[in-house]
Every structure is written in C-alpha cells, then in structure tokens.
Amino acid sequence: MKSPVVKRSIVVGGHKTSVSLEEAFWNGMKEISGLRNMTLSELVGEIDSNRQQGNLSSAIRLFVLDYFRTRAMPAAAQEGQRSQA
C-alpha cells in the first residue's frame, strides 16, 4: 500500500533537506507560494525561520492549517450574517 506521506528534497537557507508531508499539504504549500509570488523553498525558509519548536514538517502543517483556517473565517462570518438576515 502506498503511503499518503510524500518525501521531497528542498533547499532551505542554502541547505538541502528532506521534508515528509501528505500530498494535500504539498498542494497547499504550492498554492500559498504561488499566491505570495514566492518559490516553495522561500516559503519553507520563512516557515523554518519563524518556527518556535518542533520539526519542520510539523511547522509546515501548522502553517498551512492556519493559512486556510484564516481564509475560511471571513467566509464563515459572512455565511452567519446571511443566515441571521
């Protein structure tokens, strides 16, 4: 059975490292980096430099979750306003 986790090599801060993430998180990272006009390596470097603790894969998952959760909040608020009207 194929693992849902995909391991990829990426250059972060001039150093090559391997990151294991589920395909959905890789897709989220690609979408975010495209919207921010950054390379995937630049985005991972930013996440790496801002992480407080834990490993890089966990920091990336939390970043992607937070990014899409934040984007979903305004939509949920608008939906709530419409149902109250």
Residue ranges and CATH numbers for the domains of the chain are 5-84 (1.10.1220)
Q: Is the dihedral of CA 77, 79, 83, 85 positive or negative?
A: positive
pTM value is: 0.81
**38: burial class by Cβ within 10 Å (0-12, 13-18, 19+)?**
middle
Residue 38: pLDDT band with limits 50, 70, 90: very high
Q: Output the pLDDT for position 73.
A: 81
Q: Is the dihedral of CA 16, 26, 41, 13 positive or negative?
A: negative
Residue 64: pLDDT band with limits 50, 70, 90: very high
- CB proximity list for 47: less than 8 A, separation 6 or greater: 56, 59, 60, 63
Residue with tokens 């996440």: 47
Q: What is the mean pLDDT of residues 66-75?
A: 86
Indicate the average pLDDT of the chain. Answer: 88
